């Protein structure tokens, strides 16, 4: 579902024109978490820095929070996860 060019993931197969910044920023964070496709991360960020859909999602705060998270992942990408010796984190819930 990667659309190249310009560099984003479409919403669904067969719908290359449908794109959402929020979901692409989430994909970006996931790619950064597993240290894969840094070129795509950069292109997603560059594309959505300039792209405006013209709908309410351009104004929704959560989209901007996700943009910041994608650009500055910080604690979301902790390198020591899961904690040493912990294999069944669901049991702690």
| Residue 93 maps to a domain | no
Q: Could you report the per-residue pLDDT of 8-27, keeping only the tens digit for each?
A: 999 999 999 999 999 999 99
Q: Is there a domain that residue 74 lies in?
A: yes
Confidence of residue 92 (pLDDT cuts 50, 70, 90): very low
Beta strands 8-9; 2-3: pairing state = antiparallel
Q: Is the pTM of this model over 0.75?
A: yes
Q: ∠ CA(63), CA(64), CA(70), 5° rounding?
A: 90
82 cis-preceded (ω within 30 degrees of 0): yes
Instruction: Please tell me the total count of domains within the chain.
Output: 1
Range of the domain at 77: 2-87
Closest alpha carbon to 70 in 91, 85, 49: 49
Residue 92 lies in a domain: no
In a domain, 47, yes or no: yes
């Amino acid at each position: 579902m990667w659309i190249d060019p310009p560099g984003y993931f479409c919403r669904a197969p067969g719908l290359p024109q449908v794109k959402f910044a929020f979901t692409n920023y989430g994909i970006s964070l996931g790619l950064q978490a597993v240290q894969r496709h840094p070129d795509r991360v950069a292109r997603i960020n560059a594309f959505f820095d300039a792209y405006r859909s013209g709908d309410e999602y351009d104004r929704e705060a959560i989209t901007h929070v996700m943009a910041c998270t994608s650009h500055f992942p910080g604690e979301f990408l902790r390198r020591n996860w899961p904690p040493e010796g912990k294999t069944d984190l669901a049991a702690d819930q």
